Amino acid sequence: MIAVAGGKGGSGKTTTTVGLASALSRRGASVIAADADWDLPNLNGLATEAGVAAPTPSLTASTGAPPTITEAVREGDTVRPRRSRPLVLAPPTASDDVDAAAAFASLAGATSSERPTLLDCPAGASPDVAAPLRAADRCLLVTPLRRPALRDAVKTAAIARRLDCPPIGVVAVRTESVPDGVGDLFGCPLFGRVPEGDAEPLSDPAVRSAYDDLARRLVRRDFASDWHVA
């Protein structure tokens, strides 16, 4: 599992989770994207707006609500998303009564290493970020190139390393160029750049192309031997 992490709220984590999940799906991967920000869950809403959420009849409640992480884990030994679109998992309905660390550990055990699983994390300074970072194998850092955001994302990178979730790299968002030294600041490679989009960035061809490039690099560099992709 890959934790998509960053600094403050609004840094682009959820957009990157949806954009990257959609891009991996376009490459033929069966993708799972889980909302790990239980206090401010918005992954399913953004995925639905972008038209990439894939309902799964066996998991979706009769109310039409999206499947939750705990429902997916209870469904069987392995969570099996479709290839057509990512399977987006919402937080548990009564999240205050659920042990987040146990839920993410169960999700890790119920997902196959052949299928990309992305966790949309809470803000990096939040104590709640520890549970998804502990469950994930590695993290992908997301940040705008603003000084406060960079400072907070560097702190998140340090937290991730302490929790044995080393950063794969950093994605700079809402920018047309990236100055030298950004990767050095985080102690990991600059992995990609996503330009500023319009009011609905995931509908912008330039933004979509940037996430396609990010997915291609991620597969080629880190997961070519693990994930089943086209």
The pLDDT, as a whole number, for residue 75 is 63
The residue that leads in pLDDT, 121 or 81, is: 121
Whether 228 is in a domain gets the answer no
Give the range of the structural domain holding residue 117, as residue numbers without chain letter: 2-223
Q: Is 129 exposed, middle or buried (0-12, 13-18, 19+ CB in 10 A)?
A: buried
**Which pLDDT score, from 0 to 100, does residue 142 have?**
97
| Residue 62 confidence (pLDDT) | 46
What are 83-135's pLDDT values in tens digits?
778 999 999 988 999 999 999 999 998 888 788 999 999 988 778 999 999 99
Count of structural domains within the chain:
1
Of 44-58, 146-160, 209-223, the range with the lowest mean pLDDT is: 44-58
Mean pLDDT of the 65-83 span: 79
CATH at residue 173: 3.40.50.300
Mean pLDDT of 139-161: 94
Q: What local confidence, expressed as pLDDT, does residue 229 receive?
A: 62
Asked, for residue 229, whether it belongs to a domain, the answer is no
Give CA 99 to chain center in angstroms: 20
Calculate what percentage of the chain has a pLDDT beyond 70: 90
Using alpha carbons, select from 91, 95, 67 the residue that is nearest to residue 79. Answer: 67
Report the relative pairing of strands 117-120 and 87-89 from DSSP bridges.
unpaired
Runs of H (alpha helix) within 37-145: 43-50, 69-75, 100-110, 130-135
Beta-carbon count within 10 A of 99 CB:
11
Cβ burial, residue 90 (10 Å; 0-12/13-18/19+): buried
**212/141 Cα distance (integer angstroms):** 17
